[in-house]
A and B are shown apart, each in its own frame.
Chain A
Amino acid sequence: MVCLDQRRCVVHKLSTKKAFIAYFAFGWLLLIVADRVDELRVYQGATIAVTTLAIASIILLTGYSGQVSLGQGAFLAVGAYAAALSQTYWQSPFWFTLLIAILVSAAFGFILAFAAGRMSGPYLAGTTLALAVGLPTLANQFSFLGGETGLVYDAGLPPERFGEEFTLYKWFFWIAAFVALIAMFLLRNLLNSRFGRTWKALRANSTAASLCGVNVAQSKITAFTISAGLAGLAGALLGMISIVAPSAFPLSLSFTIITGAILAGVTSLLGSMLGAVILVVIPEIADVIAHQFGDSEKITTNLPGFIVSVLLILTVLFSPNGPAEAMRKRKEQHAKH
């Protein structure tokens, strides 16, 4: 932060070089921590990494370009199935399947954005919602998609040189965290570039942006495409940890991702990790509470959803842009004084 005088202070973002160092250092920290914690935490860490990516796709789409999608789960499904199909039928190497997942879901997003280009607000939200409802069930209609059982999608076993103690879930965590860090770094740079500034202008006032020479339709389509690609990557990683089957991509997944984005702040990329942590921690909290009530399975099943709903309401009422954004504004106000 640089203070020009007693009244004007500007918070500078980290330069790209410094951001790279920060992400690199954070990655190393994650590796060290993964080596020290038990398998449950590592598994949760992998889930957090995947959820962070999924939430980041919403932050780009909604927080930056102002487009609402209630069906991000559909893009996760497209990415996961694309990755699984390329592995099953083309025997593609795992890392290549991730690229396939990004490209296919981005292409899907591009087509959808083009088709729904004139829609916005609740109409676009409704279209994406319909997609989230209908798309996963297509797997039951075509046998090559594996039906209810789904498709096998495998990251393979950890390299033997890591030793027997290196568990499969640690391997998943390494992959998910590595991919998520790279994707988030690239996304950060993108959002700090002219693309990000253009999307912010769109979100603020698309008419004004248009008058300033911004091609509104093209910018929206670009945002939608990149967001879909990112979601597809998250979907492939989710398929790696979980399964590639309709049951892995229910409608509730889309709502969970949006909830995570809102809880953390739809305009805050850093907040996407906070949102992911909250979503993973809530079932743990629900378990502790359920334990107080005799480990009732009904409480354990329903309480996480209840807690998330309450948090969502509180966030919208008291911190609509999320806690990360609220902290940033408090810092700016503090800097001014």
Chain B
Amino acid sequence: MISLRRKKSILAAVAVTSFALIASAVPANAEVGVSSTEIKLGTTVPMTGIAAPGYNKVAPAMKAYFDYINDNGGVYGRKINLIIKDDRYIPQEAINKTNELILKDKVFALVGQLGTANHLAVTSKVRIASRNIPSLFLNTGYSGFADVKKFKTSFMHFPTYVAEAKILSSYIKENFTGKKTCLLVQNDEFGADASKGFAAAGLTFDETVKYVSGTQSATTAQTWITRFAGAKCEVVVLFSVSSATAAALGVASAAGYKPQWILGSVGADSTTLRIALNNPQAQALLNGAIGVSFMPDALDTTDEYISLFREVNTKYSPGVAFDTNVLVGMNAAMLTVQALRAAGKNPTRRSLIAAMESKGSTFASAAYGNLAVSKTSRAGFTGYWFGKFNLAGALIPLDAGRTMYTTDSGTGPVTKASAKRAPLPAKGIPTNS
């Protein structure tokens, strides 16, 4: 029999607990993450962990550009507050951190989320599509994200990996016919997408190495290079993340193995190479490698966008070296500002999505071409130009006119055109509506 005193204690505890929980209930908000003074955005990126070298600069670069915009009036008077969460490139963490951003930090939209497997996990479990939460300018080229039916509220930034692989295949077939060609890819959707593109282009490899994401290191790279060297590969495509590319180049250099490297856009960054290999001269390993980009090279100070972004970086991220990762972050941020402006003076999640669909293809950007976003597509940019890395790690266009290779994620052909893009907005501050 429970004593009366004990009964009272239990009832009191239950009452207090219930009251506390009820009191913490939050009434519904008109639009989440938007107030009269602020627009709250969130992102999940690898700030620590195995994929962090290089990629941990993307989100701070976005923040730097947003700070620049905030100092110049913000978006219709509202400051942009970017909350950065570290997901360590682990899908489970991406889910946890995205949930924190949405449920706890109550962000208006997600922007610049990084990683194919991570975003697949987020869309699958956090269900941002059914909850109408926009995720703008993903830092991944997984072609599946262009599908508006499956990823209604996700919007791409990069050309897809399928398109990139098709474009690389076109170049390899033009220039390296008859040579033994080998491939390094990641053993997940990122790598599967690339493989799909190579297959669509009819390019086969004499040796394919698939590495498990998170296992890249000098030790595992040893096995990759041993296989490539053993197969006498003359052309090696590294379609891998920065840390894996760095590991492969480092080990190959030490072993004296010098094939013609062709680097996928994801992993080719000289600053990341220096950090990952802990060698201030590591960018020299890129010398002679063929690479692709959909934006000007980060070291090209003659470019107006690069020049502006460098100034912003110097002022708002002092001490941070400007490289491809910073360029990607700032470009995404500039596109985001235009999206927020196009969403109207009282933006809602729906109006932001509608703005992306109707006006996204007209946004100014450092990238060549236009975003292929529309009501029926969530695709990002669609083309690449080819260059060769020099000793300083800069990607120099193979032709002065910077020929853009463009294609889709299906079976469409690779076409060539000259590079075009919208001019830089005055002082790099978008004024679109």
- Per the CB 8 Å criterion, the residue count for chain A at the interface is 34
- Contact A37 to B212, CB < 8 A, known contacts A149-B120, A149-B188, A248-B92: no
Interface of A is mostly: helix
Interface contact B86-A297, CB-CB below 8 Å: yes
Nearest A-chain residue to B14, judged by Cβ: A29
Please state if A247 and B212 are interface contacts (CB–CB under 8 Å).
no
- Return the chain B residue nearest A26 by Cβ: B14
> Contact at B188–A147, with CB atoms within 8 Å?
yes
**A contact residues around B124 at 8 Å (CB):** 152, 243
For A24-45 the 0/1 string (1 means CB < 8 A from B) is 0000010011001111110100
Q: Is A140 an interface residue (CB 8 A)?
A: yes
A337 CA to B127 CA, complexed, in Å: 58
Docked-complex contact A243 and B92, CB < 8 angstroms: yes
Q: Determine whether the beta carbon of B18 is less than 8 Å from that of A243.
A: no
By a CB distance below 8 angstroms, the chain B residues around A29 are: 14, 18
Q: Which residues of B contact A243 (CB under 8 A)?
A: 91-92, 95, 121, 124-125
Chain B residue contacts of A241, Cβ below 8 A: 125
Interface flag for B30 (CB, 8 Å): no
- Whether B364 is near chain A, meaning CB under 8 Å from some CB there, is no
Complex interface residues of chain B between 32 and 89 (CB less than 8 A to chain A): 47-48, 84-86
Any chain A CB within 8 A of the CB of B187? yes
Shortest A116–chain B CB gap in Å is 28
B86 touches A301 (CB 8 A): yes
Cβ contacts A236-258/B at 8 Å (1 or 0 each): 00000111010110100000000
Interface size class of B (residues with CB under 8 A): 35 or more
B21 sits at the interface (CB 8 A): yes
B42 to chain A, nearest CB (A): 13
> A residues within 8 A CB of B3?
1
Q: How far is the CB of B247 from chain A (nearest CB, A)?
A: 18
B99 contacts partner chain A, Cβ-Cβ < 8 Å: yes
Closest CB in chain B relative to A45 CB, distance in Å: 9
Q: Is B16 engaged at the interface, CB distance under 8 Å to the other chain? A: no
Contact with A along B84-126 (1 / 0, CB 8 A): 1110001111011001000110000000000001001100110
**CB <8 Å contact, B95 and A148:** no
Report if B400 contacts A (CB, 8 A): no
| B254: chain A residues within 8 A (beta carbon) | none
Instruction: Decide yes or no whether B426 CB sits under 8 A from chain A.
Output: no
State which of A148, A242, A300 has its C-beta within 8 Å of the C-beta of B187: A148
Please encode chain B, from 316 to 335, with 1 for each CB lying within 8 Å of some chain A CB and 0 for all others.
00000000000000000000
Q: Is the CB of B121 within 8 A of A36?
A: no
Apart from A148-B117, A287-B104, A301-B48, what are 20 other A-B pairs with CB-CB below 8 Å? Answer: A1-B3, A29-B14, A32-B18, A36-B21, A36-B25, A37-B25, A38-B26, A38-B103, A41-B24, A147-B187, A149-B91, A150-B91, A152-B124, A243-B91, A243-B121, A245-B117, A250-B92, A297-B86, A300-B86, A301-B86
Tell me the A residues contacting B by CB distance below 8 Å. Answer: 1-2, 12, 29, 32-33, 36-41, 43, 140, 147-150, 152, 157, 168-169, 241-243, 245, 247-248, 250, 287, 297-298, 300-301
Which 6 A-B pairs give the minimum distances between C-beta atoms?
A40-B103, A247-B92, A38-B26, A148-B188, A248-B92, A247-B90
Residue contacts A-B, CB under 8 angstroms, 7 given: A29-B14, A38-B24, A43-B103, A168-B130, A243-B121, A297-B86, A301-B48
